[in-house]
Amino acid sequence: MSMLSSYLTLAAVLFCIGLYGVLTKRNAIIVLLSIELMLNAVNLNLIAFSKYGVQPSLAGQIFSLFTISVAAAEAAVGIAVLIVLYRGRASVNVDEFDELRG
């Protein structure tokens, strides 16, 4: 049981670091990277539960594979959007992109 809790603690630490990055960093690339960190924290949880959960099964591991591939696609799209934005504004600072201001 102690194995599960240590995995979960690690995942929580990773998630919080990622969240901190998302909330505080101005550079959009770093924000994207922090999102990857949060995703990986989730993956770690999935795997931890598939191994040490109440009903261990392979489903968790398969899910994490899916997540990794979808995350790769998402990262590609995200980077592409960033490049377009950079072409338009010559900047990747998130706080400058406030066209949706109410």
Partner 1 sequence: MDNTFFAEYAWLVPLFPFIAFAVLTAMGKGLKKTGAWIGTIASFLSLVLSLCIAGERLSGNAPDYGNQMDWITIGKLKLVAGFEVTNLSTLMLVVVTLVAFLVNLYSQGYMKKDERISTFFAYVALFTSSMLGLVLSDNLLTFYIFWELVGVCSFLLVGFWYQKPEAKAAAKKAFIVTRIGDLGLLIGLLLLFWYMPGHALDFTTLHNVYDTQSGAISTGITTLIALLIFVGAVGKSGQFPLHVWLPDAMEGPTPISALIHAATMVAAGVFLVVRTFDIFEASQVAMNTVAIVGAFTAIFAATIGLAQNDIKRILAYSTVSQLGYMMLALGVGSVTGAMFHLFTHAFFKALLFLGAGSVIHSVHTQDIREMGGLGRKMKITAWTFGLGSLALSGIPPFSGFWSKDAILTAALDKQPILFVVAVIAAFFTALYMARLFFLVFAGKPREGQHAKESSSVMTIPLIVLAVLATVSGFVETPFNGWLGHWLFPEGAEHDASGLVMVVSAAVGLLGLYIGWLTFVKGTIRRNAISDRAPGLVTLVARKYYIDELYHVLFVRPLQGLGKVLDLFDDYVIDGVVRLTGHGASALGRLNSRLQGGQVQTYALTALISIVILVVAIAGRRFW
Q: Which residues make beta-bridge pairs with 93?
A: 27
Q: Which is nearer to partner 1, 4 or 22 (CB)?
A: 22
The 10 Å CB-count burial string (b at 16+, else e) for 26-43 is: eebeebbebbbbbbbbbb
For residues 19, 25, 28, 34, the Cα torsion angle rounded to the nearest 10 degrees is -30
Does 95 contact partner 1 by CB under 8 A?
A: yes
Q: How many residues bind partner 1 (CB under 8 A)?
A: 12
Does 88 contact partner 1 by CB under 8 A?
A: no
Task: Kindly indicate which of the ranges 18-26, 37-45, 46-54, 82-90 contains the residues binding partner 1, using the contact rule CB under 8 A.
Answer: 18-26
Q: Which is nearer to partner 1, 88 or 99 (CB)?
A: 99
Closest separation between CB of residue 15 and partner 1, Å? 11
DSSP annotation string for 49-80: HHHHSSS--THHHHHHHHHHHHHHHHHHHHHH
Tokens of 74: 């998402």
Closest separation between CB of residue 62 and partner 1, Å? 28
- Binding interface with partner 1 (CB under 8 A): 19, 22-24, 94-95, 97-102
